[in-house]
Structure 1
Amino acid sequence: MDAPLFSAASVRRRQRRWIPRPFYTLRVRLIISVALVHVVLMGLFTWEAVERQSHELRLEMVNQGRSLASMMVVASTNALLAEDLASLAEVTRRVGVREDVAYGEVVDMRGFVLASTREGRVGRMVGPMIERNDRFPLAADDRVLDLREDVLIGKDRVGFVLLGLSTINLDNALVDTRNRGIQYILLALVIGSVAAWLLSLAVTRNLRDLTQAAKKIGAGDLNVRVNVPGQDETGTLARAFNLMAASLQRSSRQMEQEHRKRTEAERLACVGEMAASIAHEIRNPMVALINSVKLLEDSQLPAGDRAAVVDIVNTESSRLQRILDDFLMFSRLPMPKLESGDLKTLVEQTIGLIGQDPRYGEGVQFECRYEADNHCRFDSDLMRQVLLNLIMNAIQAINGEGKLIIRLQREQDHLNVSIVDSGRGIPEDMVSEVTKPFFTSRKDGTGLGLPVVQRILAQHGTALSITSLEGYGTEMAFDLEVTSDE
């Protein structure tokens, strides 16, 4: 089944890309959290206060309006019966002087305005009459609370009064309350942020000390300790950190002691093995040389025998020289001088040198496969030694007629070097042993060829890889860092 295009992990990664990096810090998160709590609580408190004040002010305005309308009814009843316009005008004038009154009118049963606080209304029809009193909330564009009160004589209605109360002061009071609430919210935001910042300083300061100490331990300084007093979580964490650091320090000392002991033991074992190997390798040539010298001391030795003995001396001397050269090469490898070069040229030069070696078998068929660009970084002298050892090992493994493939293959930023032979192969249980010093299956070998190759490749930042199938052949490969040919 194909993987989903938008997995949960990918969604989380995309979400994190949109989060600015400072928001990952504990200090910023703590400040934002405390500030948001303050803002939300103060916002809820302000909203409730505004709603409560709005309800109270509206209820008070309605009650005052009804009381004022009732007072107008009482004051205008007799004047309305007597059609005393002057008295009715005085009633409306007294009502109109109040700040929150938008208008006040006295209307007879016919619908004519007998008295009004608004100019030009007296004597006119009142127009559409108010059937019921307004209730809050008013329409969005309505700023007047309209009230109506009938003038009754017994059960008979002789007229009615109209009263309009302006809600501008009410709205202004509510706006002032909202503005004060916003100011309180901003003040709570500032106070909450400062309090959260101070709290974060107390918390993150200790965490910063712990982080710096952890970095020092990661860099290898196991003597570092943190001093975080207190019984809170950070103090407990600091004490646990110090215990961990002390334990790491003890473990490190023990590991260093064990490493020194193991290194010394390995060094002594290596010295003993090397001494035994040297003694073993030079014993036979030395015995042959000693015997040959004794024979040469005999003046009666025939000329033919003398020539044979001299030949033995030369052969064994050359053998001793080769053994010493191998040991010196293994123990004193020069520092590599890595430079960019064409490995193809070096391979062809090495094949040319091998063609002049008497040990080279004429039945070996070379096949070289190169890339268009074979430039990489290597030390030419040391890499020539590597190629010589590997190719000669392959020729000796073929032991007669066979095929040897040298392949250079580019793989991204590396050039893979592979030498494949069709020889007898290496037994599976011996593949991991052939690169160890002094291990050899040949009578005339020192067991240092492949160890030298391995050490040279390690200086080039790579390693030898061996793949072998007994009876079919062996492939030895390694990688080198590619470079541009410019």
Structure 2
Amino acid sequence: MSQSESGNLAILLPKTANKSSGFTHTLRFRLMLSVALVHVVLMGIFVAVAVREQSDKIQAELYSRGRSLVALTAVASTNALLTEDLGALAEIIHRVKSQPEVVYCEIIDSRGRVLGTTYPERLGKVLPLLAAQSEHFPLPPGDHVLDLQERIRIADQTIGIVTIGLSTVRMDSALAKTWRDGLFFILTALIVGSGAAWVLSLVTTRGLRNMMEAASKISQGNLDVRVPANSQDEVGMLATAFNHMVASLKQASEDAAQEHERRNQAERLACVGEMSAMIAHEIRNPLSAIINSVNLLGGDTLNQEDRSQVISILNNESGRLSRILGDFLEFAKMRESQLTRANLKVLIEEIANMLYQDHQAGKRLRLAIHCAPDAQMAVFDHDQMRQVLWNLMLNALQSMPEGGELSVMTRRAGEKIMVHIADTGCGIAPDFQKEIIKPFVSSRKGGTGLGLAIVQRILVQHGTQLSIKSTQHVGTEVSFQLNGIH
């Protein structure tokens, strides 16, 4: 398969993901995240429900025990309250205070006088209740005492009030421990779920990973790659379809390559025929002149002056024939460019000086060379660029037989160096500008028509091409670009 075919494949096939892209952008990560989040959400809901149920249960038990205790205290203190037996009331208060979670206990009579309390400084005084009213869960923030009240009644008459405070610290600690255990279980579920998701993602995306690697190889031109299709799920079906697609693509590529080769062969044959006809046409005139000159020299009818003219014709036509064949060989056997860093300004000045000294127009020519300071160093093949500049500048001089101005300018355009060669010659006809770079097309009598064709081939190897702007009777400007050096 040719390089052009493999290049087309690289364009047609989708590119695989860049290895440097983040793991968070992959299907494997999204699958892992989904499974892990499901584990965390489910475990979080379970823990929240469990803690809620335990909290309700503990609160109900504490409230029930407190109600029982305050009711028993009210019954036990009825007689002592009627007789204002402070000793009996103190004994009752002491027994209640010894119960678990009891913070305080207080008994007051109907007049609001404290007759029994866990706070000695309140005893015998008329003071407000420690709790204004009974409390229920949930308690206000920062409050860790559940206050319960019970009226002491005789025949529907209230003779006193019992108030008991129960501490919720142990209950709060138990609930906090339950929450910590729940968070531990959530973290454990996250770790276990992530591990399970990782294994699941490996199994699920293995086939997709194989297809990504295969697509990368296909984009490089390898159409013999295949993807294992061992599973019977959707990924396995996709792998089978992928293999069929690659097989069809390989067959189509081979057919296209064969068709491309047949077309190239036909084009080469057509090109050979066309160029052979052009070469035959170009060499017919000088060859006829050479044959006639040889025949004349072989006779005895020529005097010395005529013989000298015939010999001059023979030399001129032989030289012309040699130039035609030399240009053709140069065009047909163009070597690969050897790109190096070089000074473009030095090369331009050298060629301009040679042309100015040798050209017949001589002093009637005006040369103007301007190379910007940042547009002098470039990357090019020195010998090939010499030939390009020589041909272009020579063509410009030959278009000004009576003299004129030749200007050569270089300037920087981003990363590129632009080269402009302009003259004030006769110009090129508009309908002839697109044809002039074709082989064996020349507007100058005696020209081979290969000069600009050779220039164009050299510039293509440098990654650029020739641009021509011309106005008849005003002048012509040709330009091209090279890679610059900072």
Partner letter of residue 65 of structure 2? Q
Aligned to 2:397: 395
In the other structure, the counterpart of 1:97 is 98
One-letter amino acid matched to 1:176? K
Matched, 1:382 2:375: no
Partner of 2:290: 289
- Give 2:51's aligned amino acid: V
Aligned to 2:459: 457
Shifted more, 472-481 versus 36-45: the winner is 36-45
Higher relative contact order (CA 8 A, sep 6+): 2
Question: Do the aligned partners of residues 163 and 413 (structure 1) sit closer, same or farther apart at CA in structure 2, a change above 3 Å counting?
Answer: same
**Structure 2 unaligned spans of 5+:** 1-20
| Deviation (angstroms), 1:94 | 3.8
Question: How far has the Cα of 1:260 moved from its partner?
Answer: 0.8
- Displacement of 1:399 after TM fit? 4.6
Q: What RMSD over aligned residues (CA atoms) do the two structures have, in Å?
A: 2.5
CA distance in 2, matches of 1:425, 1:247: 55
Amino acid at match of 2:458: I
1:112/1:122 contact within 8 Å kept: no
Aligned residue identity for 1:27: R
TM-score, length-normalised on structure 1? 0.87
AA aligned opposite 2:347: L
For normalisation by structure 2, the TM-score amounts to: 0.87
Structure-2 separation of matches of 1:147 and 1:335 = 103
Spell out the pairing of 1:57-456 with structure 2 (5 A cutoff): 57-116=58-117, 118=118, 120=120, 123-125=123-125, 127-129=127-129, 130-357=131-358, 360=361, 363-373=364-374, 374-456=376-458
CA contact (8 A) 1:427 1:470 kept: yes
Deviation larger for 325-334 or 180-189:
325-334
Rounded Cα–Cα distance in structure 2 between residues aligned with 1:139 and 1:224: 71
- C-alpha distance in 2, partners of 1:207/1:222? 18
Q: Secondary structure of the equivalent of 1:446?
A: coil
- Percent identity for Structure 1 against Structure 2: 48
Contact conserved, 2:406 with 2:421, CA < 8 A, in 1?
Answer: yes
Instruction: Judge which range, 195-204 or 119-128, deviates more.
Output: 119-128
Shift of the 232–128 alpha-carbon distance from structure 1 to 2, 3 Å rule, reads: same
Aligned to 2:399, the other structure's residue is in SS state: helix
How far did 1:126 drift?
A: 6.6
1:200/1:392 CA distance change after superposition, 3 Å: same
Opposite residue 481 of structure 1, the aligned amino acid is N
In structure 2, relative to structure 1, the CA distance for the partners of 1:233 and 1:364 (3 Å cut) is farther
The corresponding residue for 2:9 is: none
Render the CA deviation track for 1:5-45: whole Å, top value 9, x for unaligned: xxxxxxxxxxxxxxx93311222222223222322332233
Q: Are the aligned partners of 1:361 and 1:399 in contact in 2 as well (CA < 8 Å)?
A: no
Q: Give me the whole-angstrom Cα distance separating, in 2, the residues matched to 1:58 and 1:407.
A: 95
Does the 8 Å CA contact 1:113/1:121 hold for their aligned counterparts?
no
Alpha-carbon distance in 2 for matches of 1:454, 1:38: 68
Q: Deviations over 1:147-187 (max 9, x none)?
A: 12121111322222221211122212211221222122112
Contiguous gaps of at least 5 residues in structure 1:
1-19
Structure 2 CA distance for aligned equivalents of residues 407 and 252 of structure 1:
47
Secondary structure at 2:163's aligned position in 1? strand
Q: Could you say if the C-alpha distance between residues 358 and 155 of structure 1 is closer, same or farther in structure 2, counting changes exceeding 3 Å?
A: closer
Q: Judge conservation of contact 2:114–2:127 (CA < 8 Å) in 1.
A: no
- Provide the rounded CA distance (Å) in 2 between the counterparts of 1:181 and 1:310: 114
Asked whether the equivalents of residues 69 and 149 of structure 1 are also in contact (C-alpha less than 8 Å), the reply is: yes
Deviations 1:204-230 (A, max 9, x none): 212211110010001110111112333
Are the counterparts in 2 of residues 106 and 159 from structure 1 also a CA contact under 8 Å?
yes
Return the letter of the residue paired with 2:72. M
Kindly tell me: are residues 257 and 428 of structure 1, through their superposed partners in 2, closer, same or farther at Cα, counting changes over 3 Å?
A: farther
Q: 1:200 deviation in Å?
A: 1.0
| Structure 1 pair 469–41 and aligned structure 2 pair: CA distance change class (3 A) | farther
Relative to 1, partners in 2 of residues 1:150 and 1:300: Cα closer, same or farther, differing over 3 Å? closer
Report the more deviating stretch, 216-225 or 49-58: 49-58
Whole-angstrom distance in 2 between the partners of 1:159 and 1:469: 123
